[in-house]
Chain A
Amino acid sequence: MEGTLFNIFAGLTLLSAFMVVANPFSRNPVTSAMFLVTAMISISGLFVLLGAYFLAAVQILVYAGAVMVLFLFVIMLLDLREAARRKLNLISLAMGIMAVGALFSVYKSSLESTYGEAPQQHEAANTGQAEAKPAKVVGSTRALGQALFSKDNGFILPFEIVSILLLVAMVGVILLSRKEPR
């Protein structure tokens, strides 16, 4: 059951992500944006399968519900015509592949450092030692809140730094979008 659901959601994510950037039927920016919405909803399905219900809900709330609505708002206000089909640029293609490869290697190394001991666990399970449980995913809102905000071993400092960064960006946007010159 879970395997089937994973295949469905992963397939949907990949398919709609592909349609965002290279839709063979239409070059309409609104179509791309709507496919991005379905990609995000499918990703939240993947979060549910991992037991991270909070992240799944927030994924829909923030990305599908707020960020993408703003995207659509801007696209519609700018009144973009159908984007011209660009020629394949070799340099940008190479750069893109390099970026994807770098990201993949980061994921791979972080997965290996987390689950690197997995083969030994399998051996332990085979030899009958009971401790070989899969790593438990803590997805409850309470646990997440404590991980973020607790004073001792939480991520309170990085969290506050990110908050200040966002605040600075907000003030900057307001300053830049003022009409009258100062």
Chain B
Amino acid sequence: MPASITGLFAEPWALTLLKVIAVFVVVMPMVAYSVVAERRISAWIQDRVGPNRVGIPFTNIKLLGLGQPLADGLKALVKEDFTPGHVRKVFFWMAPAVAMVPSFVVLAVVPFGSMLGSQKMVIADLNVGILFTFGIVSLGVYGVVLAGYASNSKYSFLGGIRSTAQMISYEIAMGLAVVPVFMLAADPTWQKGLSQSWSVYLEGAGLLNLSSVIAYQSDTLFHWLMFKQPIAFAIFLIAIFAETNRLPFDLPESETELVAGYHTEYSSMSFALFFMGEYAAMIAGSALMVVLFCGGWTLPLGDFFNTPAQSLGQGLVHIGVFIAKIAMFLVLMIWIRWMLPRFRYDQLMNIGWKRFLPLSLANIIFTAIVLWVLHS
């Protein structure tokens, strides 16, 4: 029996399936607990108590309210899933799923750790990783648009329309912001100076591969592209806020004017799917920021942290570092949400098109000039 099991895991597809399941098993609780974090942090900021009661069911153990996701999930499941009579049914049912899927697909190309045994900790080691990511992120808008259209009510519709314009505007700034990152990282000369373990790790990886961006940043803290490309980092961070519809960019659902925007007509589990989709998108966005600008799973604290793992324990530590960095970005996003008011729609468009677009173009040209001077 053990022989047949080890035989099964010699198959490449079995290992990939295992990684997919592992990522899913880790990300779903992260989604659940970022909702709890959102509620607790907002409560602290507003000097309230927040959900601190639910602990382990049927006992008196409260655990600071860490059992809250169970209660939330149960509530979403048992509530009546009401479908209003005026909706377009097929799209109405499709939209929550479409909103949820892209965030998880993005995670397929993110290297979330170095190695466990002989396995690279990434589901699909694509050489066009970053382009794939942007492609899938850009599909995220369909969930919102379809929800807005299918609901057949003016508030949802306005939310959907706003979302299309917003997503397209900020995608452009986001895409242009990472060009300088790859102008620095996709340079074949630095790869020759890498140590043995890195060269093995990067075997066959192209220069647009996300693992090679991590390798580029692994040396010291100031190799992190966050410090080398501060403008690109700022634009990318803000564009991620806009892409995930978080405040101050949550115009598609702005509750003061549009009731709840694109998900006004949704209830119970289909509403919960939108909710989970938003937090999954936050996690995917944070993961991208960590990989592109904050050194991925490396820490500039010596060989144990910044070279690919040789042992199982080291590999697990690297995965832990990656998750901790994501958690820091999630806290940042939640913190900002409860600190800033919402933009007006014209302000949103002005920032996207008149500030970020020229700024990121200028950043590309500036980086190109610096590289040209350095190389000649």
Interface residue SS majority, chain A = helix
Interface size in chain A (residues, C-beta < 8 A):
24
Which among A30, A57, A66, A73 is the interface contact of B128 at CB below 8 angstroms? A57
In Å, the complex CA distance between A73 and B142 comes to 11
For residue A46, which residues in chain B have a CB less than 8 angstroms away from its CB?
A: none
Q: Does A53 contact B (CB under 8 A)?
A: yes
For residue B141, which residues in chain A have a CB less than 8 angstroms away from its CB?
A: 65, 69
Residue of A nearest to B157 (CB): A76
Interface residue SS majority, chain B = helix
Q: Cβ of B149 and Cβ of A30 under 8 Å apart?
A: yes
Q: Does A77 contact B (CB under 8 A)?
A: yes
Q: Does A58 contact B (CB under 8 A)?
A: yes
For residue B132, which residues in chain A have a CB less than 8 angstroms away from its CB?
A: 57, 60
If the complex has contacts A30-B91, A69-B145, are A61 and B165 also in contact, measured as CB distance less than 8 A?
A: no
Q: Does B126 contact A (CB under 8 A)?
A: yes
CB of B132, distance to nearest CB on chain A (Å): 5
In Å, the complex CA distance between A65 and B168 comes to 9
Q: Cβ of B139 and Cβ of A60 under 8 Å apart?
A: yes
CB of B159, distance to nearest CB on chain A (Å): 12
In Å, the complex CA distance between A140 and B186 comes to 13
Q: Does B134 contact A (CB under 8 A)?
A: yes
Q: Cβ of A141 and Cβ of B208 under 8 Å apart?
A: yes
Taken residue by residue from 54 to 71, chain A's Cβ proximity to chain B (1 for < 8 Å, 0 otherwise) reads as 101111110011100110
Q: Cβ of B131 and Cβ of A61 under 8 Å apart?
A: yes
Tell me the total A-B contact number using a CB cutoff of 8 A: 77
For residue B137, which residues in chain A have a CB less than 8 angstroms away from its CB?
A: 65
CB of A148, distance to nearest CB on chain B (Å): 15
Q: Cβ of A70 and Cβ of B168 under 8 Å apart?
A: yes
Which among B139, B145, B148, B160 is the interface contact of A65 at CB below 8 angstroms? B139
Residue of A nearest to B94 (CB): A34
For residue A28, which residues in chain B have a CB less than 8 angstroms away from its CB?
A: 88
For residue A65, which residues in chain B have a CB less than 8 angstroms away from its CB?
A: 134-135, 137-139, 141, 171
Residue of B nearest to A25 (CB): B90
Q: Does A156 contact B (CB under 8 A)?
A: no
B residues 106-143 near A (Cβ < 8 Å) are: 126-128, 131-132, 134-139, 141-142
Q: Cβ of B208 and Cβ of A66 under 8 Å apart?
A: no
Q: Cβ of A53 and Cβ of B128 under 8 Å apart?
A: yes
Q: Cβ of A73 and Cβ of B161 under 8 Å apart?
A: yes
For residue A56, which residues in chain B have a CB less than 8 angstroms away from its CB?
A: 128
What are 30 A-B pairs with beta-carbon distances under 8 A?
A28-B88, A30-B91, A34-B91, A34-B142, A34-B146, A53-B126, A53-B127, A57-B132, A59-B135, A60-B132, A60-B138, A60-B139, A61-B138, A64-B139, A65-B138, A65-B139, A65-B141, A65-B171, A69-B141, A69-B142, A69-B168, A72-B145, A73-B168, A76-B148, A76-B149, A76-B160, A76-B164, A140-B127, A140-B206, A141-B127
B residues sitting closer than 8 Å to A (CB atoms) are 88, 91, 126-128, 131-132, 134-139, 141-142, 145-146, 148-149, 157, 160-161, 164-165, 167-168, 171, 206-208
